[in-house]
Chain A
Amino acid sequence: MNTIFLLISLTTIASAIAAMSLRNLVHCVLCLTLTFVGISLTYLQLSSQFIGFAQVMVYVGAVSILIIFALLMTRSGHELTLREWRPMHWVWGTLITLGLLACLGLSITGSSISGKVASPEKTESVKALGEALMQEYLLPLEAMALLLTVALIGAALVALPASHHPPASKGGTE
């Protein structure tokens, strides 16, 4: 097997396990960011540069910062989750996860798709991506723009403090 692929994938899996099991929540998020960077390196190894860099830009640059801000605003950054550690949860969770992993692994290795070899000259062309987005996938692109606008406005509205709501219901039911 390829050494670079082994290195990247083992680091990513290790940091994902760390992200899901560490007790200090900010350390979890930083390991999650490392996982995202590892996934971006996997995209680069699969010779899709644009998606790899977009992954860093979106996930490391934006989603991680979002998660960190949410952690700090809900004051979860300072607590440790030690007191909620219940062994049975972890045992059952690990068992279910390993079972699912076994199922997926068996079905992947048993199928004929996984015998495919890389076609040597498949490279990503940003021009082809742009043309496909503008011609064939124009409707999903516009729907995505609408979705992102709605998400932006909705998230801002939902997270606003509700201090400006007039207390009208009290007088109405009395």
Chain B
Amino acid sequence: MWFEELLIAIKASLVLKAPEGLRPLVSAALSTMPILSAFGGLFAVVTLLERKMLGRIQNRYGPNRVGPFGIFQPVADGIKMLTKEDIVPKTADHLIHFLAPLVLLVTAMLGLSVIPFGQKLVAVEFEAGIVFFFAVGGAAELAVFMAGWASRNKYALLGSLRAIAQMVSYEIPLILSSVCVLMVTGSLSLTEVVQAQSGGITSWFVFTPWGFLGCILFLISTLAEVNRSPFDIPEAESELIAGHMTEYSGFKYAVFFLAEFVAMFAMCALTATLFLGGYHPPLPVLSIIPGPVWLFSKLMLLVLLFIWIRGTMPRLRADQLMEFAWKFMLPMSVINLVSTGIWIALDGGLLGWLVTGACNFGAYLGLSRWLADHPNHRKRVYRYADGPINAA
């Protein structure tokens, strides 16, 4: 608690030094600047971390030229991005072409404003905080369309339509799997959700059957929402060059990159808030270490998980992606809702664990077996010139 109170005291004293009329503005600026600068610095660190970690997974060193262990690589990347020529196609829609990366960045950063970083450290306290987060996440799809449309490039347009279809499809399991947490907590406000998980690691929602399934579904949907591997059809180089970002170069491309990473951080922070206990330490005795440190360490854990998944799994095809969303994730999240309702009705306890766990696991088994019977998923028969060879 000491860290949060220290920060609040510093902010109050700074606000008092401002003239009377400007106080709300100064207060708002002082709330948002630490968040923006922290996540901006985190972006730089994570780009380097991702390249090093991917390199190690692929049995090579990452970048290691620009400083000891490549520490100044983000600085070199920044200089490169800033000094590149900004090419805009002549027939492009200049206003929309200019606005698209800005809108994407703004919606990504707006999501950071409702996440509680500490005991009273929320930038904006909304009663319907989580609805705000998902609303601005939905507005990001429009920016993707603007980018693809304004480029006057048929391939960019196709790429952006695919990206929008992917984002819209995965928004439903995202929201439904977070509704389970809201059902148990009884409130839409994120500070209440974190308060319900105070009291050590056993009260975190991820260690309940519905929370576990919800967390997994939420993480997979997050991967799809931020266009990250294995769902990175919109931005993979072998698909439609760079999709909706094809005609962007230089600083605007860097803004797209930044927006994608900030959206990833915001969603990881939301996962940590909803399922992993937010800013609470695993053991109450460790609350000497301030809350934001715990939240950032959980966030970094999730980011490392995402980088690990990126280095390990191959990319999904577009139709596999959509089938996965609509035929597997949506029914699973609805069944998760039902089992959360059963948990609330049985009020937790051993019976609740058994029934909810059996319901979730049975649903998973049944759905995956049923989907695996689809003719597209059977083993393939390869026909060569000298007669068919059946795959074993």
Contact = CB atoms under 8 A, between A and B. Distances in A.
Direct contact of A and B (CB under 8 A): yes
Nearest to A57: B135
A57 B349 CA distance: 36
B145 A68 contact: yes
Interface string A36-72: 0000000000000110011011001110110011001
B254 interface: no
A53 B132 CA distance: 5
B349 to A, nearest CB: 25
B187 to A, nearest CB: 8
Nearest to B137: A61
6 contacts: A26-B93, A26-B149, A49-B131, A61-B135, A64-B142, A126-B128
Interface in A57-106: 57, 60-62, 64-65, 68-69, 72, 77
Interface of A: 26-27, 30, 33, 49-50, 53-54, 56-57, 60-62, 64-65, 68-69, 72, 77, 124-127
Given A49-B126, A61-B171, 16 more contacts: A30-B96, A30-B142, A30-B146, A49-B132, A53-B132, A53-B134, A54-B131, A56-B138, A57-B135, A61-B138, A65-B168, A68-B145, A69-B161, A77-B149, A125-B127, A126-B188
Contacts of A62: 138, 168
Given A26-B149, A30-B146, A61 B131 contact: no
B18 interface: no
Contacts of B132: 49, 53
Interface residues of B, number: 26
A56 B126 contact: no
Nearest to A60: B139
A30 B98 CA distance: 14
B149 A53 contact: no
A128 B278 CA distance: 27
A61 B128 contact: no
Interface string B94-119: 00100000000000000000000000
B268 interface: no
B181 to A, nearest CB: 15
A54 B142 contact: no
B141 interface: yes
Nearest to B139: A60
Contacts of B187: 126-127
Contacts of B96: 26-27, 30
B224 to A, nearest CB: 16
A124 B157 CA distance: 41
B186 to A, nearest CB: 8
B355 interface: no
Contacts of A65: 141-142, 145, 164, 168
A56 B135 contact: yes
Interface in B167-191: 168, 171, 186-188
In terms of DSSP, what is the predominant structure of the interface of chain A?
helix
A111 to B, nearest CB: 33
Interface string B142-162: 100110010000000100010
Contacts of A50: 127-128, 131, 188
Given A30-B146, A56-B136, A126-B188, A61 B127 contact: no
A54 B128 CA distance: 10
A60 B135 CA distance: 8
A50 B141 CA distance: 21
A26 B188 CA distance: 35
Interface in B322-378: none
A77 B149 CA distance: 10
A142 B131 CA distance: 22
Given A49-B128, A50-B131, A53-B132, A61 B188 contact: no
B367 to A, nearest CB: 20
Contacts of B127: 49-50, 124-126
Most B CB within 10 A of own CB, among A61, A64, A68 = A61
Nearest to A51: B128
Contacts of B136: 56
Contacts of B145: 65, 68
Nearest to B126: A49
A68 B145 CA distance: 9
Given A26-B149, A49-B126, A56-B135, A33 B142 contact: yes
Contacts of A68: 145
Given A30-B146, A65-B164, A126-B188, A60 B128 contact: no
A68 B157 CA distance: 12
Contacts of B171: 61
B188 to A, nearest CB: 5
